[in-house]
A and B are shown apart, each in its own frame.
Chain A
């Protein structure tokens, strides 16, 4: 198509060079991962010319590694690859299931969690899950890497903290210790190939007698950006994550949600259902943590 160029750098420096070169001559460059958002957008809402810089060949963005304390997940890894990694799935089931919800089998062969976050849609499914498990974004910048917590990454509908000369390399995630687990649930009117009407991610840690010592809750598609809900987390901490605690967490999510009425759902519907999802996701995370 007219006005499109394509570059496939193989490492961070080359990729940064490509972004900088475009910026220096006042041209638009855009990172390309799976293209499952981009290809739809260039045919509909965002048609102008540009240079695509493909992150899928950047070595650092394809890394997947684990130390005792931390995991690193490259931004360019396809969600199907994450889902087939049994070890990762057992360590971070909630995050992996959020990536596994994207689109369909075909879409997941290309789609990445990096693309999901950088697309910065309020309904991006992996975003609440990333926030819940405490993911930190590793951003390649002309002056070296910088790190930003996921909850601070997205600034508005389709906007984020990245400068035109920066891109996302991957995520650092604290390695879950002891009885820690996570879960993500979203609501769509169908079973797949749809966009979240609301979503809830929960990560929590239990002590030996099942009392919650740490929790993080984030909700999606109910505000301009995915929202951490500390009140919901607080409702879980110090409890056995029993029905009362679950209902309190649900109520906190419902209260925190600031959705709009649109073709995908009404305000009342989204507030109510995001609470239900919070409760159900917390129960799943609890059961998973207890099983560790």
Chain B
């Protein structure tokens, strides 16, 4: 790992390369591509939350003005039918209101929309399954009649797809040793990522069966393989070109429109563009799970935890896959708890299939546990930071999910919080303060990068991770640092599936860590080549040449009367020393370091209306090392706002038949700028030993703690706890009335 003192470029915050085009409206997003002869595709969506599809007849639509193609589930391969394929287009059953049932392509959007009304679908309407309680009750209507919990066919079918549990120590003994025990139940509603850019793509298939897709996605290599799977094609026949992306937060790690657009293009012989409306985004794309968590935690008088348990039930939507794994693994991750038991349930309901949303699964379970720990601290009359410091995991602590932590920054974050002026500042009259800890694992996975040096020494970095949070700037910073050149000399680009090597999705806070590591290695490859070229020029061995501050120089002690050779010097003469300079690296990154955070907020409830104002919010987080501190702060602030939005007002509201009543930003209330105070940030740096510059992913941890921080602040002011989210004014006022 590079020494902090040596760093020249890493740790500065230059302007992002894509910034100018974005603020001047020139950047091309998913819906911005137009091709000659292009058609518009539209999707017919189920108006029922649960229905058997007896037949779909598109013939009247096909005959309509301007319509050149129409498809239903029957037009797609059925041999390798998996959940994703069924989610892209329904087959025998529609499993949520909004589930795609058929699609058309026509010359204009209006013609396509009109044609949808000519598609005849014969539904047998079934009872919806809309809540965890309903889904888990005995005799519940089954979302999938052939699903057995954990695949165990000796038991009757169930809406519980997966049940998992793990245990450590002796929980009963642990609780028996406790002086104080807190037990509570908390519900968190469905929340959408709320990315501003709706899903959109354009696809064209040529006569040879080769498809090209332009789309907004967090991972175009995933779009390629997933689309290939749904269509029964080889990945070699699909090229995916990512556009700029207007937010994803995990929601664009999956596909919805792409196979439909390719199929419609194949049938019509024309390019086909498909764009979701905001309503479609809400009705048909994957939000975060609604959850029900029961937690219990016990401690000695001095605050030492003796035992803790958590029981989690997460809505998966129409297909299995709620993030119960990470929900279970994160719930107690910040603490050293000798005795614990954690159980998770992945539960089907007739709602859209859930998808990743920043730290998937952690905000909900940790909300419950961090509320319980807050109560425990109150009962013990302990400061909320002190009780957490007492039990905080540190290097060498065995995580509840097995591994032993390498160096982690939780204690440093707690100590930083304790000394932070915002924590020392007295609370405003009548307000409440709440604190909570956040955590996310972060992931590594596969990445590739290529570094090319132009004849003037300009550096081009090519990699395959769509840039959501400013990663091109971070890649350029790491490349510039490694090569020893100024930031301005490096341009980072996101290549399509054919112009750059494979990269896993931009998700799991992995890009700056894993792809960054590949970029650093590709730069090291360039340096090795430059030393070779200089040696050749100077008639030395490569081992006799050093690379210092962006120049090849003879190693100390090597007797050679030569001038240093810069990257530009070497590149200009590359033809004479072996051809263009091209560095590469590919890897499966290991050792993604977990990132911990501490958040606290001051809030004030108007007790006559139930409305909560956020007065102040501070986020402290371990970034390992902040490559681009301003963008790290941006992640911390954005995550805080999303977490607060979830805690304040965001929720899906369904009618009794399972139709979403608030599929738009008027009634699905994300916070607006004026709802938020300045989100103060403090970056803590406990370098990750597995990354050349010490990076930990920072993108997901920030959304985790705000939910409980706000719950705890409201509890602090009101003197009683409201267990469930959101803390919307009607819920808070009803709770106040109940208290009398």
Residues of A within 8 A of B (CB): 1-2, 187, 189-195, 197, 262-266, 268-269, 272-273, 276
Contact = CB atoms under 8 A, between A and B. Distances in A.
A100 to B, nearest CB: 14
7 contacts: A2-B110, A192-B672, A192-B674, A197-B729, A266-B730, A268-B734, A276-B608
A273 B729 CA distance: 10
Nearest to A264: B667
Given A263-B662, A276-B608, A269 B672 contact: no
A189 B728 contact: yes
Contact of A263 (B610, B653, B729, B737): B653
| 8 A-B pairs with the lowest CB-CB distances in the bound complex, closest first | A269-B730, A191-B674, A276-B608, A263-B653, A263-B661, A189-B649, A191-B675, A193-B672
**Binding site secondary structure of chain A:** loop
Interface in B605-619: 608-611
B729 A187 contact: yes
A182 B546 CA distance: 79
A272 B608 CA distance: 8
B657 interface: no
B671 A190 contact: yes
B733 interface: yes
B667 A269 contact: no
Given A263-B667, A276-B609, A189 B661 contact: no
B138 interface: no
Contact of B648 (A2, A189, A264, A268): A189
A273 B733 contact: yes
A187 B669 contact: no
Contact of B669 (A1, A189, A268): A189
A232 to B, nearest CB: 17
Greatest chain A CB density within 10 A among B609, B666, B734 is at B609
Contacts of A187: 609, 611, 729
Contacts of B661: 262-263
Interface in B699-740: 728-730, 733-734, 737
Given A194-B666, A263-B667, 15 more contacts: A2-B110, A187-B729, A189-B648, A190-B669, A190-B671, A190-B675, A191-B672, A194-B669, A263-B653, A266-B734, A268-B737, A269-B733, A269-B734, A273-B608, A273-B609
A265 B608 contact: no
B280 to A, nearest CB: 13
A35 to B, nearest CB: 17
Contacts of A272: 733, 737
Interface of B: 110, 608-611, 648-649, 653, 661-662, 666-667, 669, 671-672, 674-675, 728-730, 733-734, 737
A42 B184 CA distance: 48
B662 A189 contact: no
A193 to B, nearest CB: 5
A189 B611 contact: yes
A50 B649 CA distance: 38
Given A189-B649, A191-B674, A269 B666 contact: no
B608 A190 contact: no
B669 A269 contact: no
Nearest to A198: B609
A68 B669 CA distance: 45
Contacts of B728: 189
A79 B591 CA distance: 57
Contacts of B110: 1-2
Nearest to A2: B110
Contacts of B649: 189-190
A192 B671 CA distance: 9
A273 B606 CA distance: 11
B736 to A, nearest CB: 10
A269 B730 CA distance: 6
A193 B675 CA distance: 11
A263 B669 CA distance: 11
A223 to B, nearest CB: 18
Contacts of A262: 661
A22 B730 CA distance: 46
A195 B667 CA distance: 8
B259 to A, nearest CB: 27
Contacts of B609: 187, 273, 276
Contacts of A1: 110
Contacts of A193: 672
Contacts of A189: 611, 648-649, 669, 728-729
Nearest to B732: A269
Nearest to A265: B730
A166 B201 CA distance: 45
Nearest to A266: B730
A263 B729 CA distance: 12
B25 to A, nearest CB: 15
Nearest to B736: A272
Greatest chain A CB density within 10 A among B610, B649, B671, B728 is at B610
Nearest to B609: A273
Contact of B729 (A191, A195, A269): A269
A86 B737 CA distance: 41
Contact of A190 (B610, B672, B733): B672
Greatest chain B CB density within 10 A among A263, A268, A273, A276 is at A263
A268 B675 CA distance: 25
A126 B608 CA distance: 23
Contacts of B610: 269, 273
Nearest to B730: A269
Nearest to A270: B730
Nearest to B670: A190
A187 B732 CA distance: 14
Nearest to B108: A2
Nearest to B664: A44
Contacts of B666: 194-195
Contacts of B734: 266, 268-269
Contacts of A263: 653, 661-662, 667
Contacts of A2: 110
A198 B667 CA distance: 15
Contacts of B662: 263
A42 B640 CA distance: 36
Greatest chain A CB density within 10 A among B611, B661, B730 is at B730
A273 B675 CA distance: 20
A244 to B, nearest CB: 17
Contacts of B653: 263
A2 B107 CA distance: 14
